[in-house]
Amino acid sequence: MMKISLVRAARNPEASRTLPSLPFEKDGMDIARSTISRWPGYAPSPIRDLSDLAAELDLGKIYFKDESVRFGLGSFKPLGGAFAVSRALSRYLSAETGEAEPDLASPQMKARVVNLTVTAATDGNHGRSVAWGARMFGCRCVIFVCSSVTRQRKDAIASYGAEIREVDGSFDDAVRLAAKTAKDEGWFVIPDTSDGETVEAPRDVTQGYMLLVDEALDQLRDEPPITHLFLQAGVGGMASASAARFWQAYGAERPITTIVEPEQCACWYESLVAGEPVAVTGDIDSAMAGLSCGEVSLIAWPVLRTGADFMMTLSDDAVPVMMRYLAGKGQDARPVIAGETGISGLAGLVAAAQDETLRKELGLGPDSRVFVVNSEGDTDPEAYKTIVGKSASEVLEQ
């Protein structure tokens, strides 16, 4: 049986069963659902039943929401970045034309946005999503990438027509430069994190992510309730969106929620222990590239401050172990294509279930029904093949 070792784990002292006032629009979920479901190629991402792993870990069920097939982009990110682009353009066009719900697909509206520019900072998938949305709606796009972003990820973003600007620094440095440039140039900035000043777009991003769990609630409507969530957290967008949507659906009976991060960039771990946002500095690059963030999003903070029950950190050693396991053929839903960040939540579950003390604290056992998200597939095909030893297509041909 594979072994994943945790580095640190702790209970969140501020965890609560009471749903806070969420930092979202009242009808945000409805808007996200109605908007995204109309896009070409939309379909709910599948849930993979990892029954082999559940049996090995002596758990009841592991539901693995597989975002590797979302819109052909290989991650959950289009639900956020592209949706936020649509909201920014819709608000602009409403103000210009007086139409409450402008049709972004119409030639008249495309003519109005062709000279507008959207921008974002990225460590890979968010920038790709924003660029994809900009191409779909017909506006210009500039993406700032931090120094750790691989050439393949840059090329994937550029393939949607975006201009790439490289930043000599971290993801957080790229976020700040994108915001400053947008302000100076009069562009629309579409960050997936909030510093408290830019709120509207990151709120839209997070509301779009909530569709992921909204789909799952429908897909699992005939199943017993979920008991545990293991959610990877970079800035916290997907984690807060997922926790919030389950909280809305389950109320005080919400699942026990654990935040999973790489040890070197555990800004959520440090912040939840401190009871306030804490920035992690230094070398924060991780093999789990999408989680290489040193600062929590202030949109996500009010949700996870009390909505996360536990937090844990892993070393990068978990990446090849989990990726290869999921690429193997099993008696269950495997093989599943999962990238370096995609495996993080599942790796956290494995580490927790194999640690006797944490397993007991979390109440993991044969009756546990665990929800985890495969947040990306082979979004860097070269890295995937190097780690797994086969390309995604070769894995799926097994």
Active-site residue, from 61, 65, 66, 123: 123
Active-site residue, from 61, 65, 77, 154: 77
How far apart, in whole angstroms, are the C-alpha atoms of residue 210 and residue 239? 9
Q: Which ranges of the chain would DSSP assign to H, the alpha helix?
A: 28-36, 51-56, 81-97, 107-113, 125-137, 151-158, 171-185, 200-219, 237-250, 267-274, 301-307, 318-327, 344-354, 356-362, 381-388, 392-396
Q: What is the dihedral of CA 179, 276, 249, 371, to 10 degrees?
A: 90
Question: CB-side exposure of 142: number of CA atoms within 13 Å?
Answer: 19
Q: Are 211 and 248 in contact (CB under 8 A)?
A: no
Q: With helix as H, strand as E and coil as C, how does 115-149 read?
A: CCEEEEEECCHHHHHHHHHHHHHCCEEEEEECCCC
Q: What is the layout of strands, in order, in the sheet containing 163-166? A: 163-166, 140-145, 117-122, 188-189
Active site residue 3: no
Instruction: Give SS3 for 262.
Output: strand
| Peptide bond between residue 335 and the one before it cis (omega within 30 degrees of 0) | yes
Please state whether beta strands 188-189 and 228-232 pair in parallel, antiparallel, or not at all (unpaired): unpaired
Active site residue 77: yes
Q: Which two tokens stand for residue 74?
A: 């290989």
How far apart, in whole angstroms, are the C-alpha atoms of residue 358 and residue 366? 15
From residue 195, how far is each of 21, 226, 296, 363 by CA, in Å?
Answer: 19, 32, 8, 35
**Which residues are tagged catalytic?**
77, 123
